[in-house]
Amino acid sequence: MTKPYDVIVVGVGGMGSATLYELARRGKHVLGIERYDIGHAMGSSHGETRMIRLAYFEGQSYVPMVLRAHHLWQELGKKFNTSLLEITGTLDIIEPGLDIVERGEAACKKFDLPYELLDADAIMKRHSAFVLPKDYRGLFQPDGGFVMSDRAIMTLTAAAVDLGAELHPREKVIDIEPLQNGGARVKTDAGTYEAGSVVLSPGPWITKFIPHLTGVAQPYRQVFGWFRPLKPELFSRGQFPSFTLKIPEGHYYGFPLHGNPGLKVGGPHHGREPCDPDTLIRENRPKDEVGLRDCLSRYLPQAMGPALTIKTCIYTMTPDEDFIIDHLPGAPQIVIASPCSGHGFKFASVMGEILSDLSLGQTPPYDLSPFRLDRFSTSIN
Ligand SMILES: Cc1cc2nc3c(=O)[nH]c(=O)nc-3n(C[C@H](O)[C@H](O)[C@H](O)COP(=O)(O)OP(=O)(O)OC[C@H]3O[C@@H](n4cnc5c(N)ncnc54)[C@H](O)[C@@H]3O)c2cc1C
């Protein structure tokens, strides 16, 4: 048995890498255990980019966190001499009958963020790649864009190691046992370790550790792809924003061309295909590409060139689509971190701070009540 750690981080993906870095930055004796390679493509965080939107229609309690995350991504990029955040502006486009624009606008007003409301004609005039029905509307927010997700995980993990964090990639955690002394014991396929506390950030594998969350944190198979546009100039930065598109076919999203010659498009966001992360079909199937083309053919026809790559990824959805961030009931030394529901990566930088605070017995300066476990009627409450 090695000397006890202050904290063990279980799962070094988006949230785990940021937490490992932040704990090491605070001078803590910290161990990160990851069952695959760092930056692997088996979980929820791979695929180069993740959108960051500030007009947060999902709920105003997210906005102070996303503002801090946005600041941190820029600061971390400067610190490590790389770019982790690309600002392109974000455009949320919706079909009639939904209040996403109103909710995004309310968030902008409350936090004094710049925004513009656009009708379909104004959107098509500004971004000629879009073909929209007349009654569609959108909200443009100039400060959003995308986080370089793969790069962020590698950068933060390497920085944590440079600061003294221990890293055990390719080691699988099998069990976490709360101890009478207030600490925890972590058993893996290679050894046993003890720590004052554990941050449990295993992404879509969360129910393997906490079976009571089955049905509450449900993994879903998702696909995204890179298409070579017929007219690439329409999709260049400046000409084309990062966007979400809520249409009858589903909820899609995409990014302007950046480094990669393919236009990245994902969706239908929240398409319901439950899966187990250990048995998921990772190869793409013909219907995956068809699902993405359903969006492109009607709304972005100039993107309808060949699909260069189609990838599979996993959302871990809660019934209300809010995160789970809490202490394990009866064992507060174990901090559960499941910030996903398809929109969590942008927060990883601030989650590093929040999860570090929680694992060290401190109170983060955010309203985390929407993310508590006791909002569900599971037997672990
Ligand atoms: C297709 C797609 C598009 C998305 N788009 C966006 C977006 O535009 N903007 C946004 O903000 N969010 C987006 N999200 C959501 C976001 O990517 C997730 O919220 C985020 O990646 C979750 O990070 P995580 O650290 O919880 O999970 P992961 O990054 O999957 O990390 C969990 C880690 O735990 C490890 N692990 C699991 N079990 C064990 C074990 N037993 N032992 C050791 N290690 C273990 C896994 O191997 C993994 O590395 C998207 C998600 C998907 C799938």
For ligand 1, say whether the CB of 345 is within 6 Å of any of its atoms: yes
Give the pLDDT of the chain (381 residues) as one tens digit per residue: 556 999 999 999 999 999 999 999 999 999 999 999 999 999 999 999 999 999 999 999 999 999 999 999 999 999 999 999 999 999 999 999 999 999 999 999 999 999 999 999 999 999 999 999 999 999 999 999 999 999 999 999 999 999 999 999 999 999 999 999 999 999 999 999 999 999 999 999 999 999 999 999 999 999 999 999 999 999 999 999 999 999 988 899 999 999 999 999 999 865 679 999 999 999 999 999 999 999 999 999 999 999 999 999 999 999 999 999 999 999 999 999 999 999 999 999 999 999 999 999 999 999 999 999 999 987 776
DSSP one-letter code for 2: P
Whole-model pTM: value is 0.98
- Say yes or no: 291 and 248 in one domain: yes
Whether 246 and 225 share a structural domain = yes
Q: Quote the CA–CA distance of 299 and 135 in Å, as a whole number.
A: 13
Task: Tell me the three-class secondary structure of 248-312, residue by residue.
Answer: CCEEEEECCCECECCEEEEEEECCCCECCCCCCCCCCCHHHHHHHHHHHHHHCHHHCCCEEEEEE
Q: Rounded to the nearest whole angstrom, what is the distance from the C-alpha of residue 135 to the centroid of ligand 1?
A: 35
Let me know whether 112 and 199 are in one domain. Answer: no
Same domain, 180 and 136: no
Decide whether any atom of ligand 1 lies within 6 Å of the 70 Cβ.
no
* Same-domain status, 122 and 166: no
- Which atom of ligand 1 lies nearest, measured to the CA of 223? 1
309 within a domain of the structure (yes/no): yes
Q: Report the CATH number at residue 229.
A: 3.30.9.10
Q: Are residues 228 and 305 in the same domain?
A: yes
Distance (angstroms) between ligand 1 centre and the Cα of 205 equals 10
* 79, part of any domain: no
Q: Which of 50, 52, 171, 318 to mutate to test the pocket of ligand 1 (most atoms within 8 A of CB)?
A: 50
The total number of structural domains that make up the chain: 2
Interacting residues of 65 by C-beta distance below 8 A, sequence separation 6+: 347, 350, 354, 366
Best probe residue, ligand 1, of 340, 349, 371 (max atoms within 8 Å of C-beta): 340
Nearest atom, ligand 1, residue 15 CA: 25
DSSP assignment, residue 60? G
- Whether 194 and 173 map to the same domain: the answer is yes
Last residue of a domain, one of 291, 317, 343: 317
Cα 204 to averaged position of ligand 1 atoms, centre (Å): 7
Residue 267 shares a structural domain with residue 194: no
Q: Is residue 248 part of a domain?
A: yes
Q: Please give the distance, rounded to the nearest whole angstrom, from the Cα atom of residue 337 to the centre of ligand 1.
A: 11
Q: What's the rounded Cα separation, in Å, for the pair 32 and 318? A: 26
The whole-number pLDDT of residue 295 equals 94
- State the pLDDT at residue 117: 98
Pocket of ligand 1 contains residue 39 by CB under 6 Å: no
- Supply the pLDDT for residue 249: 86
Of 293, 317, 341, the domain-final residue = 317
Residues 128 and 245 in one domain: yes
What pLDDT, on the 0 to 100 scale, is given for residue 377? Answer: 82
Domain for residue 54, yes or no? no
Q: How far is it, in rounded angstroms, from Cα 376 to Cα 349?
A: 26
pLDDT at residue 271, as a whole number: 61
Q: What are the start-end ranges of the E strands in 41-150?
A: 49-52, 85-87, 90-94, 116-119, 137-141, 145-148
201 lines ligand 1 (CB under 6 A): yes
- CATH code, domain carrying 330: 3.50.50.60
pLDDT at 209: 98
Find out whether the beta carbon of 173 lies less than 6 Å from any atom of ligand 1.
yes
Ligand 1 within 6 A of CB of 237: no
Mutate to test the pocket of ligand 1, among 174, 205, 272 (most ligand atoms within 8 A of CB): 205
Task: Say if residue 133 is in the same domain as residue 241.
Answer: yes
Ligand 1 nearest-atom number relative to CA 337: 26
Say if 55 falls within a structural domain: no
* Residue that finishes a domain, picked among 282, 298, 317: 317
What are 110's two structure tokens?
A: 């409350």
User: Do 321 and 341 touch, CB atoms closer than 8 A?
Assistant: yes
- Give a yes or no: residue 74 inside a domain: no
User: What is the domain extent for residue 351?
Assistant: 5-45+150-215+321-375
Best probe residue, ligand 1, of 45, 186, 243, 312 (max atoms within 8 Å of C-beta): 45
Per the domain annotation, does 236 fall within a domain? yes
Residue 354 CA to ligand 1 center (angstroms) comes to: 17
The reply to whether 308 and 165 lie within a common domain is no
The pLDDT score that the predictor gives to residue 243 is 98
Q: Are residues 265 and 311 in the same domain?
A: yes
Residue 380 maps to a domain: no
